[in-house]
Chains A and B, each alone.
Chain A
């Protein structure tokens, strides 16, 4: 690292233009390749394109669904960037979303949250989701400082544990599965009470954006300020650059590691809480549906910038919505949507090289 704190600001100004241009062209190249593939397998390209646009921007509902997806990606991505500032890699977003969803459902259904006074019915489950995610995120931190476990491995494996824990919760009537009234009762929880659902911004179900959007914007701003303007941000960075030097300077390495991974986990749990209380309303198997990994990729591609996370999260959110609609309306196979997504990730990652070289 040659950049000092003084010329950091200049760096940012020089970086913005090429990085934006290169990222946009990488996405465009991947999109073009996707169109070629759609043509190659014999689906009408105009049909596929109009289905994609319909699914992303075609109606207020489509826009809201894309935004709700982006919120989850953005929260996981911001958590990733915060932990990454301390040179930690949190691959556990998927599991943190899952435990967040479990905690939110449990508290909303059986924690008596529904009868609390105004505001609290949904705030308490959200808090529970954050705490569950924070614990799930902090475990790898504790393991790292106590026995030196690589956090990439432990967060990833904890994700698998959480995903199967979720499966267990919705399969077992003793846990969160709804009462079995017939053999056809699905393995899912009851729907949460109306009072615990997140209030919609417009109050209108044709544009179901909930208070998760302003909350996420606030969190993004706070995270940006925290990383660039506060003592904690400097401490995280110091620990990330050189743990030994940081502890000589009086910064506790152990505290920073657990704190950074705990914050990342809390944001992942919150993403799970928002998904459950604002969008899905009941817990079922596959609840986290790969959002944790998309959020992780958003965080990684952003190269440490909160603004970059938001951009990547919006891209993936709209891409997923458009992809689902392309599949339903134009008959484009899901697999092809995955191929295009993979291409975008790979080209964006490869294009980062050119960003670094020009600056």
Chain B
């Protein structure tokens, strides 16, 4: 392996580690409070979805990121309501929310952009991206 390749390898490792680092930090915070946050997968999906929709709607990636962050709060509130207020099993609620969010973030884009694409052909690109 050449040094250039090695540098690329290290670079992509760092790049791929960033989302894990952020998610892991979040998990650490909730673990400190005694909540096993199994729904972190669903939260990441929601964040990605919210950011994509936000960036697309506003045309501004930074605003999109903010919308993504705010968009996760309802998921976090649902997890908190179920596991703290209703004292439900944290593993069950985590798995349930993950299934729910995986379904919703797949369902909404496909249908949303299919509808939008009819009104505005420019949105067709997003539909093909979403259908994948």
Contact = CB atoms under 8 A, between A and B. Distances in A.
A344 B93 CA distance: 10
Given A352-B88, A356-B87, A342 B111 contact: no
Contacts of B91: 89, 91, 152, 296, 300
Contact of B78 (A333, A341, A346): A346
B99 interface: yes
Rank and list the top 5 A-B pairs by shortest CB-CB distance, nearest first: A342-B100, A338-B103, A345-B96, A339-B103, A342-B99
Given A300-B89, A341-B99, 19 more contacts: A89-B91, A91-B91, A152-B91, A293-B95, A296-B95, A297-B96, A300-B91, A334-B106, A335-B103, A335-B107, A335-B110, A338-B100, A339-B99, A339-B107, A342-B96, A343-B96, A346-B93, A353-B85, A353-B86
B86 A346 contact: no
Contacts of B85: 353
Contacts, number: 91
A350 B92 CA distance: 10
Nearest to A301: B92
B20 interface: no
Interface in A272-299: 293, 296-297
Contacts of A345: 92-93, 95-96, 99-100
Interface of B: 36, 78, 81-82, 85-89, 91-93, 95-104, 106-107, 110-111
Contacts of A184: none
Contacts of B95: 293, 296-297, 345
B82 A349 contact: yes
B82 A338 contact: no
A41 interface: yes
B111 A300 contact: no
Nearest to A37: B107
16 contacts: A152-B91, A296-B91, A297-B95, A301-B92, A338-B102, A341-B103, A342-B96, A342-B104, A344-B96, A345-B93, A345-B96, A346-B82, A346-B96, A350-B82, A352-B86, A353-B88
Interface string A316-350: 00000000000000000111111111111110111
Contact of B100 (A297, A300, A339, A356): A339
Contacts of A341: 99-100, 103
Contacts of A349: 82, 86, 88-89, 92-93, 96
A261 B89 CA distance: 20
Q: How many A residues are at the interface, by size bracket? A: 20 to 34
Nearest to A344: B96
Nearest to A91: B91
Interface in A233-258: none
Given A338-B99, A346-B96, A352 B107 contact: no
Contacts of A344: 96
Contacts of B98: 342
Contact of A297 (B92, B102, B111): B92
A350 B88 contact: yes
Nearest to A339: B103
A268 to B, nearest CB: 16
B67 to A, nearest CB: 22
Contact of A342 (B36, B82, B89, B97): B97
A298 to B, nearest CB: 10
A350 B89 CA distance: 8
A164 to B, nearest CB: 18
Nearest to B105: A335
Most buried by B among A152, A336, A338, A352: A338
Interface in A41-91: 41, 89, 91
A335 B97 CA distance: 13
A348 to B, nearest CB: 8
A348 B96 CA distance: 10
A290 to B, nearest CB: 9
A152 B87 CA distance: 19
Nearest to B108: A335
A353 B96 CA distance: 16
Contacts of B106: 333-335, 338
